[in-house]
Amino acid sequence: MAVTYRWATLGCGVIGHQLAEAMQKLGGNLYAVGNRTHEKAVKFAEQYGVGKVYDKPEDMFADPDVDIIYISTPHNTHIKYLRQALAAGKHVLCEKSITLNYYELEEAVKLAMEHHVVLAEAQTIYHMPIYRALRERIERGDFGPLRLITMNFGSYKPYNMKNRFFNRNLAGGAMLDIGVYALSFVRWFMSSCPQEIASQVLYAPTGVDEQASMLLKNAQGEMATVMLSLHAKQPKRGMISFDKAYIELMEYPRGDKAVITWTEDGHKEEIVAGETANALCYEIEDMERTVAGSEDFMHLDYTVDVMALLTKVRRDWGMRYPEEE
């Protein structure tokens, strides 16, 4: 599927570069780029052959030739840009976490509906082919009822309080940075959004959540455990346990392989679908199909559920960012 819409990227960090590369893989190119530092945007445009560079972000929203905007600026700037882009009638794919909290997302969803545009979070889990392949088998009843999901995501970030991971002024912390992946995984496989949730937190010296644990349960009795850390390395592993088998996915944010272990005799089955290297290609294709109106591939309803969970957990802790005070 070739790129058929004119995309602009707001932000040209790591994700901006990956987006440009994915566009070229799909046989197209970014239409335009904007960044808070204009010189960085110019350099980015030269590297990828992008034809238009904006002097300021507002010029992107006012450009009638832009169809879709990809926002990859820091978390706490998202709502500001979402308001402007959606009000200008632009479709928006926004980096995770899509907003700081549920209330900001609620406002953005309302704006998208008012202006008849697509709003979505760039959550790779919802677009990797392996997840769709597994869902087909789950819905077919191959594994029996879902019982338990066990999630791990741990990275080791040095205590550099100037970087975004621990910087409260840049909406740092484990929940918004990596917890959004774990909870999106949980939501993808659970029959409904968890209604019961208990959690614990360990704070970094800056006051953001460095480490967190969660226990979740939904109306169907399906349960999940989540362990997160920004200062303790652990595997990116998701395990889904059913009556007849359990399924393991490693490097699950952009996973392309699952291993099924069958309960009855312990034999293993491997499923491979898609490629990790094409994660952003799948997002682009699903966004364009949704904008075209053929079907909704973006799962904004799951994004809303996940943001509600993230917001509830932080509210239980009493943890707020400056923008929420």
User: Each residue of 274-319: pLDDT tens digit?
Assistant: 999 999 999 999 999 999 997 899 999 999 999 999 999 999 999 9
pLDDT in tens, 107-150: 999 999 999 999 999 999 999 999 999 999 999 999 999 999 99
Cα(271)–Cα(262) distance, integer angstroms: 13
Cα–Cα distance between 288 and 3 in angstroms, integer? 8
CA–CA gap between residue 12 and residue 49 (Å, rounded): 14
C-beta separation of 195 from 217 below 8 A: yes
Query: What is the 8-class DSSP label of residue 176?
Result: I
Tell me what the mean pLDDT of segment 100-104 comes to.
98
Instruction: Please tell me the distance from the alpha carbon of residue 28 to that of residue 289, in angstroms, as a whole number.
Output: 16
> Does position 2 have pLDDT exceeding 80, yes or no?
no
What pLDDT shows up at residue 175?
97
Torsion of CA 106, 107, 109, 110, to 10 degrees: 120
Q: How confident is the model at residue 3 (pLDDT cuts 50, 70, 90)?
A: confident
Helix (H, G, I), strand (E, B) or coil at 103: helix
| Long-range residue pairs from 249-253, CB within 8 A, at least 24 positions apart, any chain | 249/130, 251/276, 252/125, 252/181, 252/185, 253/124, 253/125, 253/181
User: Which uninterrupted H or E stretch holds 228?
Assistant: strand 223-229
| 167: CB partners within 8 A, 6+ apart | 161, 206, 208
DSSP 95: P
- Residue 1: is its pLDDT beyond 70? no
pLDDT in tens, 252-263: 999 999 999 999
Instruction: Give the Cβ contact number of residue 109 at 10 Å.
Output: 20
Going by C-alpha positions, the residue among 174, 234, 224, 220 that lies closest to residue 197 is: 224
Q: How many Å apart are CA 166 and CA 173, to the nearest integer?
A: 6
Name the more confident of 321 and 36: 321
Per-chain mean pLDDT for the chain: 96
**Ordered domains of the chain (ranges, CATH):** 7-124 (3.40.50.720), 126-280+305-317 (3.30.360.10)
What tens digit of pLDDT does each residue of 168-219 get?
A: 999 999 999 999 999 999 999 999 999 999 999 999 999 999 999 999 999 9
For residue range 59-97, list pLDDT tens digits in order.
999 999 999 999 999 999 999 999 999 999 999 999 999
* pLDDT confidence band for 163 (50 / 70 / 90): confident
Instruction: Check residue 183 and give its pLDDT.
Output: 98
Tell me, what's the pLDDT at 14? 95
- Residues 224-247 have pLDDT tens digits of 999 999 999 999 999 999 999 999
